[in-house]
């Protein structure tokens, strides 16, 4: 996997104690109502883009366990249309891995069966950007399937 597959990454906020609390409450305590907290900021960032919006997916087992897809809920709250094009191929959790373990991972995503990827721009959306591994893997899957350009928008950027 090349390291330069993303053409642009924009993070709306920096990771801090307040964001750590927000993510914990939202994702792990399943407080879905918090999906609207940053809806205006996310909508303002994405509405100016002429691209297909693609949320970073959870593995189906994780989605069942958590009861909702946190990234999709953020997009719903912001009233941003998106296309569910990617499949997460394993259940490993990035937050439980070291930087080195994340960077060594292979093929985290595939394109959903029967999906045709257009030769256009796609914007990946995720909650947090740490090492960039998740976004790099998703971008690689889209580019290898025919995407012209892949960018990303994340809610939060963690300092490395």
Whether 72 is covered by a domain: the verdict is yes
pLDDT averaged over every residue in the chain: 89
Residue 2 falls within a domain, yes or no? Answer: no
pTM, entire model: 0.88
Q: What is the CATH number of the domain that holds 88?
A: 3.40.50
User: What pLDDT does residue 86 have?
Assistant: 97
Asked if residue 60 is part of any domain, the answer here is: yes
Residues 111-123: what's their mean pLDDT?
95
pLDDT interval class at 61 (50, 70, 90): confident
Distances (CA, A) of 2 to 13, 46, 103, 117: 26, 26, 11, 20
Q: What is the mean pLDDT of residues 108-120?
A: 94
Q: Are 68 and 30 in contact, with CB atoms under 8 Å apart?
A: yes
Q: Mean per-residue pLDDT for 131-140?
A: 92
Q: How many CB atoms lie within 10 A of CB 138?
A: 26
Domain-located, residue 1: no
Helix (H, G, I), strand (E, B) or coil at 144: helix
Number of independent structural domains in the chain: 1
* Boundaries of domain holding 52: 8-157
Q: Answer whether residue 140 is part of any domain.
A: yes
Task: Say which residues have a Cβ less than 8 Å from residue 34's Cβ, sequence separation at least 6.
Answer: 22, 25, 26
């Amino acid at each position: 996997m090349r390291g330069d597959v993303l053409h642009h990454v924009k993070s709306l906020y920096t990771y801090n104690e307040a964001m750590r609390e927000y993510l914990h409450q939202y994702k792990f305590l399943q407080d879905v109502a918090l999906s609207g907290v940053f809806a205006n900021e996310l909508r303002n960032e994405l509405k100016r883009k002429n691209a297909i919006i693609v949320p970073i997916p959870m593995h189906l087992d994780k989605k069942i366990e958590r009861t909702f897809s946190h990234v999709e809920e953020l997009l719903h709250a912001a009233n941003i249309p998106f296309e569910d094009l990617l499949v997460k191929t394993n259940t490993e959790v990035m937050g439980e891995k070291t930087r080195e373990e994340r960077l060594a991972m292979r093929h985290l995503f595939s394109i959903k069966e029967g999906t045709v990827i257009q030769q256009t721009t796609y914007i990946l959306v995720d909650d947090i950007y740490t090492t960039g591994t998740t976004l790099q893997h998703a971008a690689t899957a889209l580019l290898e399937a025919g995407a012209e350009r892949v960018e990303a928008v994340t809610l939060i950027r963690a300092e490395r």
